[in-house]
Structure 1
Amino acid sequence: MAHSRRLRALITNDDGIDSPGLHALADGARAAGFEVVIAAPHVDASGVGGSVLSIRDGNRTRVHSRELAGLPGVPAYAVEGHPAFIVHSAGRGWLDPEPDVVLSGINLGANLGHAVLHSGTVNAVLAGLMHGWRGLAVSLDLTDPAPENPHWDTVLHLLPEVLDVLLAAPDPAALSLNVPNLPIAEVGELREAGLSTFGTVQVRVDHRSGEHGEVLHSESAKMSTPLEPGRDAALLAAGHPTLTELVGVTDRPGVLDRVAPSRRAG
């Protein structure tokens, strides 16, 4: 993608405008030569997937201009809406000029396996595909609660190489980068990875009754099944940053061809 101007990057996330990971990603994108504009949810919106929900008053969704520490002169907006809503808004007339790429993260925790379906961070870049934009979702493998000093520097060390891959990809393309929370010297080589069947966390939901009425009680636990060799969860656990190209919603022809003609005729 050759341009005579600087490429414009929309920086977003699902952890909210005040997340240090968002600020680190914006700083890294600026250092890589992008023109940066930041637009992120005004509060934590983790786990919203591809939702385009916003807090509306009629046709209006509130936007709050912000000045972020360490990012002087960078336009930044706290939006009362979910990440995919923000990206779609950027492609429906809000941002002029439109972004060339969507960079989402740095997420507080890995986004692995087919569980990326639920990630607001990942679905922000998948929403960008609908507008013809390349996108990169970036996640750091943090425990809960997060450590006091995450290795943002490790992510930013890898970022230029991964951005080169993104810009060399067919347009549009959506990539997901997961980085182990390790010092740069201890990180393995960047590996392409397929999606694990699930992620690394399993959620059990029980229907319970008590003094507060009937509830669905959720409890998370590490997966008890072995990690699948060569897949994202296993490679990340072994200390490798992983890169996966994701495909957005598409169609598969031939649905009626799988049914015998006599059955289709009734």
Structure 2
Amino acid sequence: MRILLSNDDGILAKGLGVLEQAVAPLGDIHVVAPDREQSATSHSLTLHHPLRPVRLGEHRWQVDGTPTDCVMLACEALLDARPDFVLSGINHGPNMGEDVLYSGTVAAAMEGLALGIPAIALSFAGSVLRADALLDTQIAQIRSLVDHLMRLPSFPPHTLLNVNLPAVPGEEIKGVRLTRLGRRVFSDSITRMKDPWGREILWIGGGSVEWSGPDDSDFRAVHDGFISVTPLHLDLTHRDILETATDWWQAP
């Protein structure tokens, strides 16, 4: 089985190394990842300058572009044959709720899906410091889960699986839950600052986060010490509205 690995934290990221170590026994591993941090780039493509892939080894490339660029180049130009699976991550931080709209990690998996390749995104639902301390302890659980998902008799069509790992040692993970997206609300996420010339600048990030959602939501699963697996697809159509829109929509 040919497996493509990518991420949005960069080719040198701890999470990518842990994922590679976890899945190495499961197939022929190829790594194509950004040469630098690309978090929150979502599903963006680089269109305004050429990309320069650099070969770091027989099955390893770094790309001066986004996670989406990496998966597209891997599948269309760099690999001798298309992969059987695309795995993206492991992200240093959660990708739950509305995070999936911004996440470069999820976007890399989504690009695999758009190219017709089954895909899984993996994230560590804790801080960067805790990821460095705990991810190595979760290798066995990650390998078991990915192996199980890739061997499903029928991998869900037109679907990527968004996995979030709880911020606990591997031996304390309670199991796996199939979940839906929760809701995330940021507060005070914009900081006003001054540059060295006294001009105002605005910095996005930080602040506080509040989560909400039903018992089967992703954040509740990881909060309770479970691995969350959320099926996602490309179709953003609000089907309930389509079925009830006759009372407010009249085609011209």
TM-score by length of 1: 0.81
Superimposed CA distance per residue, residues 101-132 of structure 1 (whole angstroms, 9 cap, x where no aligned partner): 10111111111112211110111111111111
Runs (4+) of structure 1 exceeding 6 A deviation are none
Superimposed CA distance per residue, residues 77-108 of structure 1 (whole angstroms, 9 cap, x where no aligned partner): 11111011111223334322111110111111
Give the structure with higher Rg (CA). 1
Give the 3 Å change call, closer, same or farther, for CA 194–220 of structure 1 in structure 2.
same
One-letter amino acid matched to 1:91: C
Match of residue 116 from structure 2: 132
Give the 3 Å change call, closer, same or farther, for CA 146–160 of structure 1 in structure 2.
closer
Superimposed CA distance per residue, residues 232-265 of structure 1 (whole angstroms, 9 cap, x where no aligned partner): 112111111111111114556859856554xx54
1:65 corresponds, among 36, 47, 55, to 55
Asked if 1:165 is matched to 2:155, the reply is: no
Supply the distance in 2 between the matched residues of 1:230 and 1:252 (Cα, whole angstroms): 20
Asked if 1:212 is matched to 2:206, the reply is: no
Q: Percent identity?
A: 24
TM-score by length of 2: 0.85
Match of residue 45 from structure 2: 52
Supply the distance in 2 between the matched residues of 1:226 and 1:172 (Cα, whole angstroms): 27
Asked if 1:242 is matched to 2:236, the reply is: no
Report if aligned partners of 2:42, 2:107 keep a CA contact under 8 Å in 1: yes
Question: What are structure 1's unaligned runs of at least 5 residues?
Answer: 1-6, 68-73
Question: What are structure 2's unaligned runs of at least 5 residues?
Answer: none
Question: Which structure features the higher share of helix residues?
Answer: 2
Query: Alpha-carbon deviation of 1:206?
Result: 5.3
Superimposed CA distance per residue, residues 139-177 of structure 1 (whole angstroms, 9 cap, x where no aligned partner): 112314446523333144233233322442134431111
Query: Alpha-carbon deviation of 1:14?
Result: 0.4
2:29 corresponds, among 11, 31, 36, to 36
Query: Alpha-carbon deviation of 1:21?
Result: 1.4
Number of aligned residues: 246
Asked if 1:92 is matched to 2:76, the reply is: yes
Query: Alpha-carbon deviation of 1:30?
Result: 1.6
> Equivalent residue of 1:220, what SS?
coil
1:232 corresponds, among 218, 222, 234, to 218
